[in-house]
């Protein structure tokens, strides 16, 4: 039996008579605890301010809203995050504002987004913030690729089977060129303007595109070191940009290793930050909740100092196993810590652990093709369901906002 989010989408259908796209319906599973599928809000006034921006954009358009989600392998896979990107941008037309932040993990032979894809030639060497022996520096996206060869041709292209109206006309390259002897050349479009900085090169294209070829070439015999920290795909179209930042194995300390984190987050100017970091922090038996709190507190306080009006939303860890053998009960301590953080920072909680069925529910998810046999990661089907459930909870909160403010 399939359940359509009739109350919430019906609300939007009546409210936005021009709506052309809705989040997908999802299967109803008896082990999923729907009563927990809501947002727990610690400062309703602050959250309402964000919902007001969402409302104005969905109804009138013309706003620029930035949402960024941080995590580990759950987010690097980009299925969960892209599902939410799709929902936020396409529930009504003219809301998409390009892809946002992106790291081409294929350069370092790691799994990458199936929605914005890359091909390349030339050799690169990769480094991740989650690997202790990988040397710094790192940036906002938590990974770095160093060019080994003298040239590399990279093609970026949207997977049109899964991404509707996904266009861009500006590309920001986050780089470091130690000897300033490498050139970035956009081959597939005429350039309107170029802005060059020490660690950032921005190209504005003459029209919206869904693919681009980029040539990176060393200009002298001196080798130097060219490092790519990621890209930002944007457009002149105003709307909602859903950035996703995920690195396999990343924990909160992984992001604290990122020296250029605060310098590069100004590309985003976040309205909502979704923290989905924790599955790796709480994996080992040596997990200490006080340390987990302290690390998160350090990261959030840095962001809050620069962006005091940003909203913080925490998604609790999913139920999982330790080494495929033992139920990981540390998820409960991690969850309690997130509640403490949300209370301290006037944040919001989405309790994935309880929603998916609580302790040992990962077994049911695996039996139903929603989780992998490692009992940690979800399948594509499971990640999409997670995105649908989150957006359902978001729309519940949005519906309450509309009713309270007399906007229905």
Q: Which of 186, 204, 236 is the last residue of a domain?
A: 236
Predicted TM-score (pTM) of this structure = 0.94
Average of per-residue pLDDT across 169-196: 91
Residues 73 and 136 in one domain: no
CA distances from 317 to 201, 353, 399 (A): 36, 6, 26
Residues 369 and 260 in one domain: yes
Angle at 295 between CA 304 and CA 359, to 5 degrees: 110
Residues 268 and 209 in one domain: no
Q: Which of 203, 218, 236 is the last residue of a domain?
A: 236
Q: Looking at the 3D structure of the chain, how many domains does it have? A: 2
Residues 111 and 192 in one domain: yes
Q: What are the residues whose beta carbons fall under 8 Å from the beta carbon of 102, sequence distance 6 or more? A: 113, 116, 141, 156, 230, 231, 232, 233
Element (H, E) at 211: strand 211-218
Quick one: pLDDT band at residue 163, thresholds 50, 70, 90?
Answer: confident
Q: Which of 217, 236, 255 is the last residue of a domain?
A: 236
Q: Which of 13, 55, 115, 46 is CA-nearest to residue 240?
A: 55
Mean pLDDT (the chain, rounded): 92
Is 60 exceeded by the pLDDT of residue 21?
A: no
Residues 378 and 248 in one domain: yes
Predicted confidence at residue 25, as pLDDT, reads 61
Give the pLDDT confidence of 242-269 residue by residue, as tens digits: 999 999 999 999 999 999 999 999 999 9
> CA 56, 60, 62, 64 torsion: positive or negative?
positive
Is 50 exceeded by the pLDDT of residue 184?
A: yes
Is 60 exceeded by the pLDDT of residue 296?
A: yes
Per DSSP, 72 falls in state S
The whole-angstrom separation of Cα 46 and Cα 397 is 13
Under 8 Å between Cβ of 254 and 76: no
Residues 220 and 248 in one domain: no
Quick one: pLDDT band at residue 408, thresholds 50, 70, 90?
Answer: low
Q: Within 10 Å of residue 352's Cβ, how many Cβ atoms?
A: 23
Residues 170 and 112 in one domain: yes
Quick one: pLDDT band at residue 6, thresholds 50, 70, 90?
Answer: very low
Query: Which CATH number is 356's domain given?
Result: 3.40.50.1110
Residues 180 and 201 in one domain: yes
Quick one: pLDDT band at residue 20, thresholds 50, 70, 90?
Answer: very low
Residues 387 and 242 in one domain: yes
Residues 25 and 117 in one domain: no
Token readout for 155 is 């093609």
Q: Which of 315, 313, 243, 285 is CA-nearest to residue 89?
A: 243
Q: What are the residues whose beta carbons fall under 8 Å from the beta carbon of 193, sequence distance 6 or more? A: 203, 204
Predicted confidence at residue 182, as pLDDT, reads 94
Angle between helix axes 6-15 and 380-404 (nearest 10 degrees) is 60
Residues 93 and 163 in one domain: no
Residues 284 and 307 in one domain: yes
Angle between helix axes 79-90 and 380-404 (nearest 10 degrees) is 40
Tokens 């924790």 label which residue?
Answer: 278
Range of the domain at 223: 101-236
Give the pLDDT confidence of 300-330 residue by residue, as tens digits: 999 999 999 999 999 999 999 999 999 999 9
């Amino acid at each position: 039996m399939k359940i359509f989010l009739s109350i919430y989408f019906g609300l939007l259908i009546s409210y936005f008579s021009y709506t052309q796209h809705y989040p997908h319906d999802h299967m109803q599973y008896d082990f999923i605890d729907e009563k927990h599928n809501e947002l727990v809000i610690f400062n309703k006034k602050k959250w309402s301010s964000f919902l007001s921006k969402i409302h104005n954009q969905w109804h009138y358009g013309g706003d620029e809203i930035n949402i960024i989600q941080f995590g580990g392998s759950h987010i690097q896979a980009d299925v969960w995050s892209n599902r939410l990107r799709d929902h936020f941008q396409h529930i009504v037309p003219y809301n998409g504002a390009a892809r946002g932040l992106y790291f081409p993990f294929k350069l370092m032979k790691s799994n990458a987004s199936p929605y914005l894809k890359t091909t390349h030639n030339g050799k690169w060497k990769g480094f991740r913030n989650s690997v202790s022996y990988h040397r710094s520096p790192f940036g906002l996206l938590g990974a770095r690729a160093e060019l080994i060869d003298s040239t590399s041709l990279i093609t970026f292209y949207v997977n049109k089977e899964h991404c509707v109206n996904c266009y861009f006309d500006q590309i920001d390259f986050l780089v470091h060129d130690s000897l300033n002897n490498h050139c970035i050349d956009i081959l597939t479009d005429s350039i309107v303007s170029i802005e060059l900085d020490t660690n950032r090169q921005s190209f504005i294209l003459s029209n919206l595109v869904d693919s681009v070829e980029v040539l990176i070439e060393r200009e002298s015999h001196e080798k130097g070191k060219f490092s790519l920290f990621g890209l930002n795909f944007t457009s002149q179209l105003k709307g909602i940009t859903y950035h996703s930042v995920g690195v396999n194995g990343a924990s909160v300390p992984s992001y604290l290793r990122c020296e250029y984190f605060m310098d590069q987050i100004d590309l985003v100017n976040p309205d909502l930050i979704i923290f989905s970091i924790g599955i790796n922090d709480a994996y080992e038996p040596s997990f200490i909740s006080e340390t987990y709190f302290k690390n998160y507190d350090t990261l959030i306080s840095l962001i809050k100092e620069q962006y005091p009006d940003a909203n913080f939303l925490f998604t609790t860890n999913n139920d999982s196993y330790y080494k495929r053998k033992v139920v990981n009960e540390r998820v409960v301590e991690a969850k309690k810590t997130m509640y403490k953080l949300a209370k301290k920072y006037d944040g919001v909680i989405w309790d994935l652990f309880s929603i998916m069925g609580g302790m040992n529910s990962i077994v049911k998810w695996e039996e139903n093709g929603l989780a992998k046999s490692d009992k940690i990661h979800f399948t594509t089907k499971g990640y999409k369901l997670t995105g649908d459930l989150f957006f359902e909870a978001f729309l519940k909160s949005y519906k309450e906002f509309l009713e309270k403010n007399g906007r229905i």
